[in-house]
Structure 1
């Protein structure tokens, strides 16, 4: 709902606090799961209504906070993150808060329409209409919800990611071009607080040059890289010489090549991963 790890945690905490206060006031809660699902959903809708104004003034590309799982981490965590792919979360931004809530409850979490109606406070017929409209808008955006990749496909993606970042760190332009789609796109989210491209960059050659330049500069100051699953997609986290997070890369892979590269460098979106580096941070304006 939020695209933000910290804000999502706050909403869950607020929902539990609200349930505790309701019980203390004498309210009998027969179904705790249903109560909390409704509370979190409605808090999420309120959050999105207020966040919409902030998104309109956001500097550059907006990307969600990365959910990172190590390549050798628990498989169930990687599969959960796959439901939150960056491409999918970006598409959800096109939906209204209520459309997003109905779509997530029905499509991602599998609630039936009577349950969706109870949670959102809408009629069942209205929820059917909202879901149909939301699904159509997601389809127009070019991507339905992704399902967790089969182990074989996941292994292939992991292997390609290894080769891709080895070529990037080694400055091998020819290898990068082979692994990038001719119409590949690079998205960078600095939020006006860190160095990032101002708008998406399209084309295999320009993207390869940009990535090669990023890693060439990084090599000169001792930047290291750790491969990881990022929202269910192969990617990597980069660190400065002191072990602080600089940015997170996520790769969209289809047909055996990289279609999209996303880079989250906004320090506000990296704090849940550990200490954040100042290397890419822009000077604060007076």
Structure 2
């Protein structure tokens, strides 16, 4: 997918001024992110859709509903991307987690990224990986964004009956994986912020008793290093094991000058880890259910952090080890 096309950006903005499609950019990004789990790929898909809009207008196409036109374009591009990315996902080293969408504790962050995509938790996006590209498109449009079946059918290019069947099958598969989308309410958000604060304080201070009191009995910890950064080799379970790994991990990175700052990650409480030079080392997201931490997701793969700023090298594996 091309990300830079000389001479087209101005045309895109001119088209946007006439169609008003730019107002839907947050929605379009969120659809693309829900389809791919990648911030960079979602941005590329949206950009390609705007280029397509420009070309259509230049060819004389009359676009009466830019929102519907662009949603269809982004979804179709997302399906094509998933089909081409399937082999890369199958050969991924270690746990695959989505690229994190981060908003700082004070609300700072890309508004177009956070408006809708923050309701797509990492656990939910991982479950969507089990769906085919078309199943994922139907499920995201219907379940996350509330599109009616007539609109889904027009976007996907299938009948309403077929889309209903696809959605029912996809929802059943996602539910079998443990959950359907869970949106955090404002009161739960405030409680989550407080629990996250206590969690990181306990982990940094080595307070095992406090940590164990915050972890669910069936807690699981995931780490995504992509074969390029230090991460756990496979998901860790059992509260005591998870707590020990958290304490040991934080002690190790603190010795390297890494500190954390509270943040909201994919609509869940978490933190961004920064090294002594202010570079991003990792992003941690906490899934909280019934007042306890159900899952910990840590993304250290540098390729998934670049959209957040300069990436630290403190946790990177030696080049020979990363390519083995």
Same fold per superposition (TM over 0.5):
yes
Query: In the alignment, what sits opposite 1:214?
Result: 249
What are the within-5 Å matches in structure 2 for residues 264-283 of structure 1? 264-283=299-318
Q: Distance in 1 between the 2:56 and 2:117 partners?
A: 32
SS in 1 for 2:36: coil
Query: In the alignment, what sits opposite 2:104?
Result: 70
After TM superposition, which residue ranges in structure 1, 4 or more long, deviate above 4 angstroms?
A: 74-79
> Contact 1:148–1:232 (CA<8 Å) still a contact in 2?
yes
Q: Does 2:218 match 1:189?
A: no
Q: 1:46 aligns with which of 67, 80, 92?
A: 80
CA shift in 2, pair 1:140/1:83, >3 Å = same
Deviations 1:160-211 (A, max 9, x none): 1000000111111221111112321110000111111111011101111111
Q: Distance in 2 between the 1:182 and 1:126 partners?
A: 40
CA shift in 2, pair 1:60/1:190, >3 Å = same
User: Shift of the alpha carbon at 1:81?
Assistant: 3.9
User: Shift of the alpha carbon at 1:89?
Assistant: 0.5
> Contact 1:79–1:232 (CA<8 Å) still a contact in 2?
no
SS in 1 for 2:179: coil
Q: Does 2:270 match 1:235?
A: yes
Q: Distance in 2 between the 1:97 and 1:38 partners?
A: 14
TM-score, normalised with respect to structure 1: 0.96
SS in 2 for 1:8: helix
Q: Distance in 2 between the 1:79 and 1:254 partners?
A: 23
Q: 2:54 aligns with which of 20, 41, 45?
A: 20
Query: In the alignment, what sits opposite 2:26?
Result: none
Higher relative contact order (CA 8 A, sep 6+): 1
Q: Distance in 1 between the 2:200 and 2:84 partners?
A: 38
Structure 1 residues not aligned, in runs of 5+: none
Deviations 1:235-285 (A, max 9, x none): 011111000000011111112111111100000000111100001111223
> Contact 1:113–1:127 (CA<8 Å) still a contact in 2?
yes
Q: Which has the larger displacement, 190-199 or 171-180?
A: 171-180
Query: In the alignment, what sits opposite 2:38?
Result: 4
SS in 1 for 2:287: strand
User: Shift of the alpha carbon at 1:78?
Assistant: 6.0
Q: 1:114 aligns with which of 145, 150, 153?
A: 150
> Contact 1:82–1:146 (CA<8 Å) still a contact in 2?
no
SS in 2 for 1:152: helix
What are the within-5 Å matches in structure 2 for residues 145-164 of structure 1? 145-149=181-185, 151-164=186-199
> Contact 1:182–1:205 (CA<8 Å) still a contact in 2?
no
Deviations 1:40-60 (A, max 9, x none): 000000000011110000000
Structure 2 residues not aligned, in runs of 5+: 1-34
> Contact 1:80–1:232 (CA<8 Å) still a contact in 2?
no
Q: Distance in 2 between the 1:244 and 1:18 partners?
A: 36
> Contact 2:105–2:262 (CA<8 Å) still a contact in 1?
yes
- CA-atom RMSD in angstroms: 1.6
Number of aligned residues = 285
What are the within-5 Å matches in structure 2 for residues 27-38 of structure 1? 27-38=61-72
Query: In the alignment, what sits opposite 1:134?
Result: 170
